[in-house]
Structure 1
Amino acid sequence: MTETGDWTTVGEQVRQTRLGAGLSQAELGAHLGLDRTMIAKIESGVRRVDALELIRLATALDVPLDHLLQRRPAVISRRSDVIAEDDNTDVARRSQRLEITLASWLRDVRQLLDAGTLTLRVPVRYEGSVTSDEDARTAARWLRDVRGIGTEPIATLMDFCERSGQYVLISDLPGEGASMVDGDVAVSIVSVEGDPGRRRATAAHELGHLVLGDEYSSDLAVHVSRADRESLVNAFAAELLLPVAAFADVASGPATREDLIRFTARYRTSWSLAVRQAERAGWLDVSSARWSRTTPTRAEIMDAVGWAPQPDLDAIRVPPGYSHAVMEAWRRYLVSDARAVELLHGQIRLDDLPTRDETDLTL
């Protein structure tokens, strides 16, 4: 089932997944009808498991079988470290579930790349030095120029990320986001929790980790702390979503709540991010504009955009290019109806697909 040297990998995957599920070794053993010591031996790589036991382990842990067989690529953005045996916090478990889903999402993308229906988008990397917030903002402006949008709003962040080489999945899991790179394939997950502005900020943040460089490499301000690196990525994300230069047209006039609401609505950011960027542009003085402390209501935001639907990072769960690749694989009979629905992560149901003869399925 696996090479001799791989049993340590399988064991560590079982251990981390068990901890992510909040199970003790004894509890997992009870699910499988095994003694706790047997689970301990599996996790240490001492005891081999056969194919049936691997399937039972994957079922008990609620993960794909491949998840237990393959070492996960490095997560370049994580909200917590690898879970320790005595770390039973909800935060640690949520982080682990995000990583499990992230690894599964990577496999989905690779399946379509291998099928030839998805064209690989090589990740965009900023080659300049990033050692300050201003450097990070410069990188964001550079990426906007690369994408040819100047200071205009990013219409669909999902598509923007895909064209920049990062495939984003919107997940129902609690938390915020995470991202990883495996060779030339970059993927990220953004939780559907929170308001749309927060989701876009999380997606832009994860893209920042990719564009600016792996937080564990020497490319991104190696001399600063991890918290400071996160600050650099946050500066990138803010400038990417709402560039300071966008305020140039209103800079000569007095700051008004109505104008800032329009910026928030057009650029689909959180109110707090819009306030920070307006202040950085020199257009808004937060100390004197007391109205800036009151977040607009949903009615105010929707009124500012003419009550047009705002589907980005909500109803749209996977990138458009990826979605087309799934349907192309389905049309070529490379995936079943059920697998096509699974690959689209809730964007369609089985009855949304036309009827076809499944006997022609090749894979």
Structure 2
Amino acid sequence: MVDDGDWATVGEQIRQARLGVGLSQAELATRIGLDRTMIAKVEAGARRVDALELVRLASALDVTIDYLLHRRPAVVSHRAELLAEDNNAEAARRSQRLDIALSAWLGDVRQMIEAGTLRPNTPMRYPGPVESEADARTAARWLREAHGLGKEPITTLMGFSERCGQYILVIDLPGDGASLIDGDIAVAVVSAKGDPGRRRATAAHELGHLVLGDEYSSDLAVHLSRADRESMINAFAAELLLPVAAFSGPGTDGNPREQIIHLAATYRTSWSLALRQAELAGWLDATTRRSLSQVTPTQAEFMDAVGWAPQPDLNGVRVPPGYSHAVMQAWRRDLVTGPRAVELLHGQITSDDLPRRDDADLPL
């Protein structure tokens, strides 16, 4: 099952998963019927785990067996809000759960690639230097132009990211988001817990880690602090979601609040992001921006600004469209079972939503 030299990897994965769910070694031992000292030896790589114990461990830790058997790729980035709380135990657990979900999501995407139903786009990387927030904003405009968007809104950020080579999964976990690159496969997870504007900002931020490079890469101003690099990626995300060029002309009668509400609703951004972009565009001074930020517009104001049109992005849709099609193709070709197809689509459908098969089409 596992080569002799890989038990240390299994032990470390078990330890990380245990920390992610906030269990002590003694608590985990009780759940699976082992002594605490045995858990300590397993985590140290000094004791092997048989198949039944592995199943029990995966169940107790709420992870896949595959997660426990294989070390995940090291290139992982997290949203700045998590990084700022590195010393907080609860934040560390949230981060670990996101990492586990991210690793499982990578496995799902890789399964569809290996099945031959998904041909991922090559991850896009900005070819120029990125040494400042201005450079990061230039990169965002470059990416928009590469997709023929100009200053138009991004209708679906999940589909846009997929075209850029990054596959996003929206998950029901606390936190913000995380992403990784494994060879030519780029994946990200975004928490569904935040409001829609925050989800889009997180998704754009994780796309920035791909396009600009990240803390593990030599491409993104590595001489700067982590906080400065995160600020640069935040600038990229803001310009990608709501370009400064969208603020054409001055605000109406010196009171641009309604126009900014309309732009925030049209581009589906948070109020704070729209205000920061408005200040950069010269619509607001810093004092006015701070004043307007004190009162967030109501949902009714945002909806009224766009004619009460539905805003589904990163809400009901949990997985990218191309990936969804790949899963359905794999199911139609009998490469995955119905239950596995439902699992791969992460709650986007139920088993009742799958088309009925004719008896002749069923595998023997």
Range into which the TM-score falls when normalised by the shorter chain: over 0.9
Find the aligned partners of 1:76 and 1:38 in 2 and give their Cα distance.
30
**Number of corresponding residues:** 360
Q: Which letter maps to 2:338?
A: D
8 Å CA contact 2:181–2:187 kept in 1: the answer is yes
Find the aligned partners of 2:294 and 2:263 in 1 and give their Cα distance.
16
Matched, 1:236 2:232: no
Residue number in structure 2 paired with 1:320: 321
State the secondary structure of the residue aligned to 1:248: coil
- Deviation of 1:207 after TM superposition, in Å, equals 0.3
Where structure 2 has 5 or more consecutive residues not aligned to the other structure, the ranges are none
- What is the CA deviation profile of residues 207-266 of structure 1, one whole-angstrom value per residue up to 9, with x for unaligned ones? 000100121222111111111110010010000001111112456974421111110111
Q: Which letter maps to 1:156?
A: T
- Deviation of 1:19 after TM superposition, in Å, equals 1.0
Residue number in structure 2 paired with 1:276: 276
* Structure 1, 340-349 or 282-291: larger mean CA deviation: 282-291
Find the aligned partners of 2:144 and 2:30 in 1 and give their Cα distance.
54
5 Å-filtered alignment, 1:99-118, equals 99-118=99-118
Find the aligned partners of 1:353 and 1:229 in 2 and give their Cα distance.
44
Find the aligned partners of 2:133 and 2:363 in 1 and give their Cα distance.
52
Percent of pairs identical after alignment?
A: 69
8 Å CA contact 1:188–1:206 kept in 2: the answer is yes
TM-score by length of 2: 0.94
Residue number in structure 2 paired with 1:256: 256
Find the aligned partners of 1:277 and 1:149 in 2 and give their Cα distance.
18
Residue number in structure 2 paired with 1:297: 298
Residues 299 and 343 of structure 1: CA distance in aligned 2, closer, same or farther (over 3 Å):
same
Residue number in structure 2 paired with 1:186: 186
Find the aligned partners of 1:356 and 1:207 in 2 and give their Cα distance.
38
Matched, 1:337 2:338: yes
Q: Which letter maps to 2:97?
A: R
8 Å CA contact 1:19–1:88 kept in 2: the answer is no
Matched, 1:25 2:25: yes
- Deviation of 1:27 after TM superposition, in Å, equals 1.1
Q: State the superposition RMSD in angstroms.
A: 2.1
Residue number in structure 2 paired with 1:7: 7
State the secondary structure of the residue aligned to 1:317: coil
Find the aligned partners of 1:45 and 1:63 in 2 and give their Cα distance.
19
5 Å-filtered alignment, 1:91-106, equals 91-106=91-106
Q: Which letter maps to 2:181?
A: V
* Structure 1, 241-250 or 133-142: larger mean CA deviation: 241-250
TM-score by length of 1: 0.94
8 Å CA contact 1:76–1:209 kept in 2: the answer is no
Q: Which letter maps to 1:134?
A: A
Q: Which letter maps to 2:322?
A: G
State the secondary structure of the residue aligned to 2:167: strand
Residues 6 and 326 of structure 1: CA distance in aligned 2, closer, same or farther (over 3 Å):
same
8 Å CA contact 2:261–2:297 kept in 1: the answer is yes
Residues 21 and 271 of structure 1: CA distance in aligned 2, closer, same or farther (over 3 Å):
same
State the secondary structure of the residue aligned to 1:140: helix
8 Å CA contact 2:256–2:283 kept in 1: the answer is no
State the secondary structure of the residue aligned to 2:214: coil
Q: Which letter maps to 1:206?
A: E
8 Å CA contact 1:140–1:239 kept in 2: the answer is yes
Residue number in structure 2 paired with 1:354: 355
5 Å-filtered alignment, 1:42-191, equals 42-78=42-78, 89-191=89-191
- What is the CA deviation profile of residues 252-291 of structure 1, one whole-angstrom value per residue up to 9, with x for unaligned ones? 9744211111101110001111111011011223424744
Find the aligned partners of 1:228 and 1:9 in 2 and give their Cα distance.
33
8 Å CA contact 2:169–2:189 kept in 1: the answer is yes
8 Å CA contact 2:251–2:259 kept in 1: the answer is no
Q: Which letter maps to 2:299?
A: R
Structure 1 segments of 4+ aligned residues over 4 angstroms from their partners: 249-253, 288-292, 357-363
Q: Which letter maps to 2:263?
A: F
- Deviation of 1:2 after TM superposition, in Å, equals 1.0
